[in-house]
A and B are shown apart, each in its own frame.
Chain A
Amino acid sequence: MKVGVVVFPGSNCDHDTQRVFGEVLGQDVLLLWHKDADLQGADVIVIPGGFSYGDYLRTGAIARFSSVMNSVKAFAEKGRPVLGICNGFQILQESGMLDGAMLRNRNVKFLSQRVHIKVEATNTVATRGLKSGEVMGMPIAHGDGNLYLDNEALTRIESQGRVVFRYCDAQGQVTDDANVNGSRNSIAGICNASRNVVALMPHPERASEKILGSDQGRKILEAFVAG
């Protein structure tokens, strides 16, 4: 499978993502520069973490206007798989491909730490084959990860089973303490209505090899290329 990893000026998880899909999972990986509209025949697209264009205006706000994002949007509209990680989540929201927006973390700190998330929806391109309720430990590294959805959007996403991951403790309990950034309903990841665009704030690519302290995130990336 050809995995296209989009690279913006300021992306900083592009090579981590390339390594995991390429060297760990044995897929072909293409790095797709933001100025190129050509997705080079990629079967799936990953928008990696980082600080695209410095995130000076708002996280993801400038990246959405890049040539590559027009192509990614058309790709997603055809039902092809798109995964956003961290800044990738923010870019997909700014592009209107996913609901909501990210506010500053509720404690106003940049959070770089290990969290636990549990799988909720398993009928998405990034969680097929996983078990609902399965708990995974992986890092987060963000200043703006406090997911905001207005009441209408929150109700819609919950009722349509579009919460893909939720922050929880190591035992899988969804508690206020485990919801480190203050996201509504402890939501760590969501999908679009067609379930082919999935994004999460935690970094599965930083938890995909034992030497990194956890390989629990690898299942998400394996599921994403399993189709």
Chain B
Amino acid sequence: MIQLRVLVSLKTSVFDPQGRTTLEALHGLGYKAATALRQGKSFLLTFEGIGEDEAKRQAEEMAARVLSNPVIESFKIERVA
């Protein structure tokens, strides 16, 4: 079994309304040292019956084609298990 995590987040050039709203709430709670917050999505993919290279290739394809929108988002993939 191979588990890969796909992390999708808005590109740094794109304004993140949810991230900003959450950061403002944190500031309101006194966490003044936090100066930036970017929200994203995490997808944990479990593969069976294929090797790590093929799992990564498929995850890459899914991330580029479906899980992220390349117009506004970027992604990275990491091995979890």
Cα distance, A101 to B73, chains bound together (Å): 10
Contact A108 B71, beta carbon cutoff 8 Å: no
- Bound together, the chains give a CA A49 to CA B21 distance in angstroms of 27
B63 to chain A, nearest CB (A): 12
Measured between beta carbons, the chain A residues less than 8 angstroms from B71 are 93, 100-101, 148, 150
> Does B17 belong to the interface (CB within 8 Å)?
yes
B72 near A148 with CB under 8 A, answer yes
- As a 0/1 sequence over residues 45 to 81 of chain B, the CB contacts with chain A under 8 angstroms (1 = contact) are 0000000000000000000001101011000000000
B17 touches A94 (CB 8 A): no
> Chain A nearest CB: distance from B56 CB in Å?
21
| Any B CB within 8 A of the CB of A30 | no
Whether A94 and B69, one on each chain, are in contact in the complex, defined by CB atoms closer than 8 angstroms, is yes
In the assembled complex, A103 has its CB within 8 A of some CB on chain B: yes
Contacts of B67 in A (CB 8 A): 57
**Closest-CB distance, B46 to chain A (whole angstroms):** 18
B66 touches A103 (CB 8 A): no
* Majority-rule SS of A interface residues: loop
Closest to A62 in B: B66
Task: Write out the residue numbers on chain A whose beta carbons fall within 8 Å of the beta carbon of B16.
Answer: 103
- In the bound complex, residues from chain B placing their C-beta under 8 Å from that of A94 are 69
For A57, list chain B residues within 8 Å (CB): 66-67
User: B76 CB to closest chain A CB, in angstroms?
Assistant: 18
Q: Across the interface, which residues of B come within 8 angstroms of A104, CB to CB?
A: 17-18
CB distance from A103 to the nearest CB of B (A): 6
Chain B residues near A65 (CB-CB < 8 A): 66
Interface centre among B13, B21, B66, B71 (most CB of A within 10 A): B71
A-B pairs with beta carbons under 8 Å apart, 24 shown: A57-B67, A58-B69, A61-B66, A61-B69, A65-B66, A93-B71, A100-B71, A101-B71, A101-B72, A103-B14, A103-B16, A103-B17, A103-B72, A104-B18, A106-B15, A106-B17, A107-B17, A108-B17, A108-B18, A146-B17, A148-B71, A148-B72, A150-B13, A182-B17
Given contacts A101-B69, A108-B17, 10 further A-B contacts (CB under 8 A): A57-B67, A61-B69, A65-B66, A101-B72, A103-B16, A104-B17, A146-B17, A148-B14, A148-B72, A182-B15
List residues of A whose CB falls within 8 A of some B CB: 57-58, 61, 65, 93-94, 100-101, 103-108, 146, 148, 150, 182
Q: 8 closest pairs, A vs B, by CB?
A: A101-B71, A104-B17, A101-B72, A108-B21, A108-B17, A106-B17, A101-B69, A104-B18
